[in-house]
Structure 1
Amino acid sequence: MESKTYAMHPVATGYLASLRARGCSPNTERVYAGRVALYLNYCRLRRLQWSRPGFTGLSCLQQWLVETPLPARAGRLAVQEVRHRSRGTANAVMTVVGEFLRFGAARGQVPSETIDLLARPRLLRFAPPGYDVGEQGQFRQVQEAAFRFKAVQPGFEDLSPAQIRRMIASRPRARDRFLIALLACTGLRIGEALGLHREDLHLLASSRLAGCGIEGPHVHVRRRTGNPNRALAKSRFPRTVPVTAELVVLYTDYQYERDRVEQALAEPMVFVNLFRSARGRPMAYANTKEMFDRMARTVGHACRPHMLRHAAATRWLRDGIDRDVVQRLLGHVSPLSMEVYRTVDDAELRAAVEHVASLQGQR
């Protein structure tokens, strides 16, 4: 069999290293690496100079992203329907390509005329909430991406309480049940959960003996850059999130399961490998994704960690919890970040219509 050799791309390697230096998560680095590789392969196939693709090259790349079928998913024997990238995904790829080219320009590898192609002026007719257009409207003139589809926002996929219970019940291992319940209960990001240390879990009624004055069981979310699994909390501000008694019970089950693995006894991280090679080492993003993919096939619907975060935020808002409190629980700095989590369901729409109808009947 003919062997394949690969050459390191120095600018792409430097760009990925810059992501790491900025404190981006390993998951972000992995996704961006795939998108940069996609661009470089496109240029190689089209015989384009990656630093000088030209307007036509970038425009054709934009169309190629949505018109080229995606490769078949591995491990499935059934006939699969042809899949294509959505316009939203193509926009995300083009954003990374633009950032990569700007990185190269800052290091003298990409000419300025290439950078000039990436943006165009736009007049804001309707400013987003919180945007200051200036006293004379001088800030209405902004720069927007030149190669970007007008895509419909797909919204977030939600998980019902019944679906979450089914997900937990489908897992034979106490560790996985605790991880799913933790994400659903607290709304933590997956990087925050995988980055937890055992000292961050204060699950007693009082933690004063541990030097913590917060009453009740809770979790401390802290950003650490030296985790061996490179798990990283996105927010740079520490926070505490209360947890329920049911979650404490699930953690007790996990502790019993974990204590049976000798290699895990001294590991300070909460989530560790217990059932395969490198036992006792901290769980990584790849392990977690594999577990969620298997679970999705078992329960018959999409399962991703961020869906549990969205479900927690939506549940809090529907139950009447103040938006500022939910923002604090989720670790968002800006209140504008809360907009994506408010999902209106069919029951709320019907209740609104029936309420108006009842008021008209009273009149």
Structure 2
Amino acid sequence: MVVHFHAERALSPIDDANLWVVVDSQFRLHPEGCTFLAGLRALGRSSNTERAYAGRVALFLTWCDGGGLDWRRVGMLDLARFLRWLVSEPLPPRGKTPAEPRFRSKKTANAVVTAVCEFFRFAAREGWVDPSIIARLSEPKYLGWLPPGFDTGEDGQFRQVKAKMIKFEVGEDPIEILRPEDADRLIKVALHARDRFLIALLSCTGIRIGEALGLRREDMHFLADSKMLGCHISGPHIHVRRRPDNANGALAKSRFSRSIPVLENVVGLYADYQYERDAVPEAAACDMVFVNLFHAPLGSPLRYWTVKELFDRLARETEQTARPHMLRHGAATAWIRSGVPQDVVQELMGHVSPASLAPYLHPTDEEKREAVMRVAERGRR
């Protein structure tokens, strides 16, 4: 009988914090998998990263058990077979209505194997697997082509990197964005002031959803002059800070705090949200900006899966793909297309390296067509 493992959300017996675990079909904890996830938390990884890694490790453990393999004895050929299995095995069907089988993309398969390799590296440090397998997971690679902004070091020592040995070669997919006009459509169909403010804030500032859900009320400096708050930054703005103790598990990815200006319409939507929030007495004691106002537990910090359900509903009503991160991509793209210097965009986005801006520097299909038409028009003249 094959043992099926899966990821489950749990509460810490120590402080009731949310965490992720790997369990089998009898809800018995997988000791090594759970210890690995605890290691991710200790490193300050976000709850979303922990959730993704939990599901990927559980998938790998299930595959091993189905093939009669001890995961501690898995070799490179086994990992290569697992990679091929990921794209050839149909995904579970959605709903009760039969439909065409769905398969994982090669990019998704690569992400799963990356998580499994991290699990093996952790297991090697703990003495659970043969350390020799770690040396075979990657190989040295010399970077002949450098992405924009890549620092090679004074002597070019950073041109030598470690490349994954087991992966599919895939092309870079274009980023998906929600433009300001797309964000406006989402705002129009949103039912609550809180949700309208969240959409506008993400679109205006380009912050990550984890950064938004981690905002405290003290971070909202929406006065023309914030000196009375002990802040010397002029104009309405927000402060994005990394706080690992957020009750909802929200975590700012960047370890460096930054401030981001906001527009007047965002300030107005925040005022509407405060009026809506004040009608829920349970929300008064919470210092988080985004809280539950419409379902239990009232007044508790808003969590990622609630936001996901919101965006799924908004996507259906507007008949467009909509995810929080697409608003971040849209903000960065709009800044660059408007001629904002790249170092300013890098600071606004909270990127450590200028190379992270590379996805936003590629021209769009509309821009390429406009360039061709512009030259053709000049020739006709």
TM-score (norm 2): 0.88
Inter-CA distance 255–341: structure 2 relative to 1 (3 Å threshold): same
**Partner amino acid, structure 2, of 1:189:** R
Distance 1:121 1:342 in 2: 28
> Structure 2: how far apart are the matches of 1:292 and 1:138?
44
Matches within 5 A, 1:282-361: 282-357=301-376
2:152 corresponds to which residue? Answer: 132
The answer (yes or no) to whether the contact 1:239–1:331 under 8 Å persists in 2 is: yes
Residue equivalent to 2:90: 69
What does the per-residue CA deviation read over 1:239-279, in whole Å, with 9 as the maximum and x for residues that have no partner? 11110111111111111110000000121000000011100
The CA distance in 2 between the partners of 1:139 and 1:254, in whole Å, is 48
- Deviation of the 1:218 alpha carbon: 0.6
1:81 aligns with 2:88: no
- 1:173-188 equivalences in 2 (<5 Å): 173-188=192-207
Change (3 A) 1:333 1:52: same
Structure 1 residues 305-314 or 319-328, which shifts more? 319-328
Distance 1:133 1:242, change over 3 A: closer
Is 1:255 matched up with 2:274? yes
1:113 shift after superposition? 3.5
C-alpha displacement of 1:120 = 3.3
Q: RMSD over aligned Cα, in angstroms?
A: 2.1
Return the alpha-carbon distance in structure 2 between the equivalents of residues 295 and 209 of structure 1.
39
Q: Distance in 2 between matches of 1:141 and 1:347?
A: 37
Aligned-partner Cα distance in 2 for 1:138–1:338: 23
> Is the alpha carbon distance of 1:122 and 1:107 closer, same or farther for their aligned partners in structure 2, counting shifts above 3 Å?
same
Check conservation: 2:194, 2:290, Cα contact below 8 A.
Answer: yes
Question: Separation in 2 of the partners of 1:361 and 1:88?
Answer: 45
- The aligned counterpart of 1:12 is 33
Distance of aligned partners of 1:142 and 1:344 in 2 relative to their CA distance in 1, 3 Å threshold? closer
CA distance in 1, matches of 2:158, 2:99: 49
SS at match of 2:162: strand
State the distance in 1 between where 2:342 and 2:160 align: 32
Deviations 1:116-144 (A, max 9, x none): 43223445443445353886x88766432
Equivalent position SS for 1:265: helix
Q: Secondary structure at the match of 1:51?
A: helix
Q: Which residue of 2 aligns with 1:207?
A: 226
User: Is the CA contact 2:213–2:289 (under 8 Å) kept in the aligned structure 1?
Assistant: yes
One-letter amino acid of the structure 2 residue matched with residue 337 of structure 1: S
Query: Is structure 2 residue 124 aligned with structure 1 residue 105?
Result: yes
Counterpart secondary structure, 1:344: coil
Q: Secondary structure of 1:219's partner?
A: strand
Unmatched segments (≥5 aa) in structure 2? 1-23
The whole-number CA distance in structure 2 between the counterparts of 1:189 and 1:69 is 32
Cα distance in 2 for partners of 1:222, 1:114 equals 39
Counterpart Cα distance in 1 of 2:182 and 2:226: 33
Change (3 A) 1:133 1:224: closer
Q: Which amino acid aligns with 1:311?
A: G
Q: Deviations over 1:287-327 (max 9, x none)?
A: 11121122222221211111000000000111111111111
Using the size of structure 1 for normalisation, the TM-score is 0.92
Q: Matched residues in 2 for 1:339 and 1:211: separation?
A: 36
Aligned-partner SS, 1:230: coil
More divergent stretch after superposition (119-128 vs 170-179): 119-128
User: Does 1:25 pair with 2:35?
Assistant: no
Q: Decide whether the 8 Å contact of 1:48 with 1:57 is kept in 2.
A: no
2 CA distance for matches of 1:346 and 1:307?
Answer: 18
Letter in 2 for 1:109: W
Which of 8, 26, 36 does residue 57 from structure 2 map onto? 36
Aligned residues: 357
**One-letter code aligned to 2:120:** L
Look up the match of 1:170: 189
Stretches of structure 1 lacking an aligned partner (at least 5 in a row): none
Q: Of 245, 249, 255, which residue of structure 2 is paired with 1:236?
A: 255
- Specify the code of the residue in structure 2 equivalent to 1:90: A
> Are 2:241 and 1:222 aligned?
yes
- In structure 1, the residue matched to 2:14 is none
Distance 1:139 1:204, change over 3 A: closer
Is the partner of 1:6 in helix, strand or coil?
Answer: coil
- Counterpart position of 1:276: 295
How far apart, CA to CA, are the structure 1 residues paired with 2:321 and 2:331? 16
Are the counterparts in 2 of residues 127 and 133 from structure 1 also a CA contact under 8 Å? no
Q: CA deviation at 1:4?
A: 4.8
SS in 2 for 1:309: helix
The aligned residue for residue 133 of structure 2 is 114
Distance 1:128 1:213, change over 3 A: closer
